[in-house]
Structure 1
Amino acid sequence: MESQLLLPAFYLPPVSYFHIIQQSEQPLIVERFEHFPKQTYRTRAKIATANGVLDLIVPIIHGRKEHVPMKDIRINYDFNWQRLHWLSIQTAYRSSAYFEYYEDDFVRFYEQKHDFLFDFNIEQLQLLLKCMKINRSLGFTETYTSRVEHLDYREAIHPKKPSLLMNPEPYYQVFKDKHGFLPDLSVVDLLFNQGPQSKSYL
C-alpha cells in the first residue's frame, strides 16, 4: 500500500502544517476517527496582535462520554465566539497588505454556523489550500488507524511542543517592530501578510 500523509483537522492551522503538506508528495489523508484530544490546534489558532500572540479558541460541547471521535465533536454557540474571533482577526490584520483581498472568503466562517468542528475545520482547510494555490485533494480516514506505513503527523504539531519549523525565515508581520518575528502562527498570518507569495515561502 502506498504511504499517505496523515494529518489532523486543525482550526486555522499553523504555518508548519502547510509546510508539511508542501514538502510531501504523498496523498493527503485527514483523520476523522481519533478520540478528540483537548488543548490542541484542533480548536485553537494563534494570531499576532498589538499585545502579542493571541489564542483564538473554538468552544465545543462536552458530552458525558470521555472518548468522542473527532468527526462527532459539536461546536458550542452558547456565547458569540464567532464575533469575538472575527473582531480579533480584523483588528490584528486590517492593516496587513492582503487582508482586504481575502476578507470576504473568511468572514463567512464567522457569520454561518457549523454544527460539527470537523466540518468547520475542513472547509477552512480547503479554502486555505485554494488561497495559497496548493493543489492537493483531501482524503479522509474510514476507521482509526495506527499503521506505520503512514507519515503520521497527528500528534507532531502541538501548542505545547517545539515547532517543526527549524529556524524559519522571517517574513513581514504587522507588529514585527513591536514584538519581533513570531514564528509558526496560524497560516492566516502568513497569508494576510504575504498573499500570493505564501506558497513560495512554504
Structure 2
Amino acid sequence: MKVVLYPSYFSDVITLSFAYSAQTIIWEGHGNYVKQTYRNRCYIAGANGRLALNVPVVHTGKGFSIPYKEVQIDYSEPWADNHLKSIHSAYNSSPFYQYYQDDLEKLFSEIPELLYHWNLKTFDFLIRNMSLELNFEETTAFKNDALANNLIKAKGKPLYSVDHYIQVFREKYGFLQPLCGLDLLFNLGPSSIAYLKSQNKRLRHS
C-alpha cells in the first residue's frame, strides 16, 4: 500500500498512525505552500496546555505562490534554540526524554536551508527512534490527495482521533491531541511502535 503525505514538522501522532502500515510513503512537495498547516508547525504538551512550535519561513510577498519544496527557513530569529528549550521544559520529566535528548540536540544542530528537507529530517528522527521501517518515493508533479490534505491541516477540528496514552500534565489538562510524534516518543519510548500499530487498525476502519 502507498500513502501520499506532505512532510510536516515532527509529524503528529495521527499521521504517524496512518504511515505505520504503508509499504511506501510518497512525499508531496510540488503544490503551493499553504500557511497555518503542519508544514511549519507542531504541537507539544506544555506546562500551560497545548503549545504550538512554529518554524518561521522566508516570505516572498503577497499574492505570490511558491512550491512547498522551495520554501526557505527564516534564520533571522533564534527559533531553533527556543524550540529546543520549550521541548526540554515540556518533556524533561517524561519517561524517555533523556534517552533521546542527545540525538534531538544533534538534529537541531544541522538544520537545512529548505523547510521541506528539514521536515524530512524530523520525520526520519521519529521513525528511526521508533524502529519503524518505511520505503519512500517523491511525486514528480503535484498530487492532490484527499488524505494528505486532511492530515496537513492545523486549523479546525481534526477528522480523526487516537486512543489515550500517558502524557505529561495529563492530570492537569486531560489527554491532549493532536500532538506531534515527539510527545508519543518521549512518553512511550520503544512501545511507540506497538501503539501506532493499534491506532492504524482503528483509523483504517473509522
Q: Which residue of 1 aligns with 2:39?
A: 42
The alpha carbon displacement at 1:137 in A equals 1.7
Q: Which residue of 2 aligns with 1:154?
A: 148
For 1:189 and 1:27, locate their aligned partners in 2 and report how far apart those are by CA, in whole Å.
24
Contact 1:29/1:139 (CA < 8 Å) preserved in 2? yes
For 2:159 and 2:133, locate their aligned partners in 1 and report how far apart those are by CA, in whole Å.
22
Tell me the C-alpha RMSD between the 2 structures: 1.6
Q: Which residue of 2 aligns with 1:12?
A: 10
For 1:49 and 1:93, locate their aligned partners in 2 and report how far apart those are by CA, in whole Å.
8
Equivalences for 1:122-201 in 2 at 5 Å?
122-146=120-144, 152-157=146-151, 158-166=153-161, 168-201=162-195
The alpha carbon displacement at 1:127 in A equals 1.7
| Unaligned runs of at least 5 residues, structure 2 | 197-206
Q: TM-score, normalised by structure 1?
A: 0.90
* Count of paired positions: 194
The alpha carbon displacement at 1:26 in A equals 4.5
- Share of identical aligned residues, percent? 34
Contact 1:6/1:152 (CA < 8 Å) preserved in 2? no
> CA 1:26 to 1:112, structure 2 compared with 1: closer, same or farther past 3 Å?
closer
The alpha carbon displacement at 1:152 in A equals 4.2
> CA 1:164 to 1:195, structure 2 compared with 1: closer, same or farther past 3 Å?
farther
User: Does residue 1:29 correspond to 2:23, yes or no?
Assistant: no
The alpha carbon displacement at 1:185 in A equals 0.4
Q: Which amino acid aligns with 1:153?
A: L
Q: Which amino acid aligns with 1:115?
A: E
Q: TM-score, normalised by structure 2?
A: 0.88
- The list of structure 1 runs, each at least 4 consecutive aligned residues, that deviate by more than 3 angstroms after superposition, is none
For 2:11 and 2:157, locate their aligned partners in 1 and report how far apart those are by CA, in whole Å.
15
Q: Which amino acid aligns with 1:121?
A: N
Contact 1:8/1:153 (CA < 8 Å) preserved in 2? no
The residue matched to 1:139 in structure 2 has which SS? strand
Contact 1:16/1:163 (CA < 8 Å) preserved in 2? no
| Unaligned runs of at least 5 residues, structure 1 | none
Contact 2:95/2:186 (CA < 8 Å) preserved in 1? yes
Equivalences for 1:101-120 in 2 at 5 Å?
101-120=99-118
Q: Which amino acid aligns with 1:184?
A: P
User: Does residue 1:91 correspond to 2:89, yes or no?
Assistant: yes
Q: Which residue of 1 aligns with 2:203?
A: none
Contact 1:31/1:141 (CA < 8 Å) preserved in 2? yes
Contact 1:86/1:107 (CA < 8 Å) preserved in 2? yes
Contact 1:191/1:198 (CA < 8 Å) preserved in 2? yes
For 1:66 and 1:154, locate their aligned partners in 2 and report how far apart those are by CA, in whole Å.
23
Cα deviation code 1:69-92 (max 9, x no counterpart)? 111100001010111100000000
Contact 1:46/1:53 (CA < 8 Å) preserved in 2? yes
Higher fraction of helix: 2
For 2:146 and 2:89, locate their aligned partners in 1 and report how far apart those are by CA, in whole Å.
35
